[in-house]
């Protein structure tokens, strides 16, 4: 599987999602969604964490960067879909631990997963409101106790990456940060319609629905300009 270094961040460029999933399972790595904002603003700790694991092109900015570096076959892999692909590929043989969302969101997520994937083994789960170091340590101890094969953390960046870093120090598994994927999965948040997704305009749809995101999308424009000027 090819990769390129963009502004110090290693981004893998699989031709198929299945290739990425199998690589993560075989090597017990964390899969981290990479977009323009993360390339521009990742801390040194997060950058090192990504480079020791698997950064994949979740945002169109990361796809553009890989293609500009010569990997024409790269594809955009939305994390909101990838975690379900991972479950579908492995739920008959692997166990899962879920972290994130409000209590009602995580409970509804677990219930829907059990309905959609008959026989899935969910070792345990908890909401994403981890307020103290003691709660974080208790979570890590619980994960070590249940020994899940795959751990999903849906807390948004950089909190989810920071938590995975701490858990990974004590327990090796496949990890994936999911942002708001649980909310979308159970219908608390609506994803963009298919036309927007297929035309790589999901970011624009979110901007129309949430104009306050405009300040974040400025990063994408700045990233594209620097990319066109070969500054990465």
Q: What is the average pLDDT score of the chain? A: 92
Looking at the domain assignment, is residue 227 inside a domain?
Answer: no
pLDDT at residue 3, as a whole number? 94
Looking at the domain assignment, is residue 162 inside a domain?
Answer: yes
Q: pLDDT of 92-114, one tens digit each?
A: 999 999 999 999 999 999 999 99
Looking at the domain assignment, is residue 229 inside a domain?
Answer: no
User: What is the tally of structural domains in the chain?
Assistant: 1
Radius of gyration, CA atoms only, the chain: 17
Q: Model-level pTM greater than 0.85? A: yes
Please, what is the Cα angle at 229 between 227 and 230, to 5 degrees? Answer: 65
**Residue 178 is part of a domain; what is its CATH number?**
3.40.50
The residue-averaged pLDDT of 11-19 equals 93
Closest CA to 126 of 144, 102, 146, 148: 102
Looking at the domain assignment, is residue 147 inside a domain?
Answer: yes
CA atoms of 131 and 156, how far apart (whole Å): 15
pLDDT above 90 as % of the chain = 74
Closest CA to 151 of 170, 131, 133, 135: 170
Q: pLDDT of 77-89, one tens digit each?
A: 999 999 999 999 9
Looking at the domain assignment, is residue 100 inside a domain?
Answer: yes
Q: pLDDT of 40-77, one tens digit each?
A: 889 999 999 999 999 999 988 899 899 999 998 889 99
């Amino acid at each position: 599987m090819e990769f390129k270094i963009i502004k110090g961040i290693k981004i893998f460029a699989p031709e198929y999602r299945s290739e990425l999933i199998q690589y993560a399972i075989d090597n017990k790595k964390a899969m981290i969604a990479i977009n323009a904002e993360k390339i521009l603003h990742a801390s040194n700790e997060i950058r090192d964490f990504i480079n020791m694991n698997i950064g994949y092109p979740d945002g169109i900015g990361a796809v553009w960067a890989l293609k500009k570096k010569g990997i024409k076959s790269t594809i955009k892999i939305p994390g909101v879909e990838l975690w379900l692909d991972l479950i579908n590929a492995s739920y008959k043989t692997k166990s899962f631990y879920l972290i994130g969302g409000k209590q009602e969101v995580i409970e509804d997520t677990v219930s829907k997963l059990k309905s959609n994937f008959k026989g899935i083994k969910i070792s345990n789960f908890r909401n994403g409101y981890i307020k103290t170091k003691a709660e974080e340590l208790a979570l890590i101890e619980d994960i070590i106790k249940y020994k899940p094969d795959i751990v999903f953390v849906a807390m948004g960046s950089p909190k989810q990456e920071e938590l995975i870093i701490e858990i990974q120090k004590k327990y090796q598994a496949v990890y994936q940060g999911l942002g708001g994927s649980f909310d979308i999965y159970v219908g608390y948040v609506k994803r963009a319609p298919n036309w927007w997704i297929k035309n790589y305009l999901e970011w624009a749809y979110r901007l129309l629905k949430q104009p306050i995101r405009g300040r974040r999308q400025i990063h994408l424009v700045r990233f594209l300009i620097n990319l066109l000027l070969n500054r990465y």
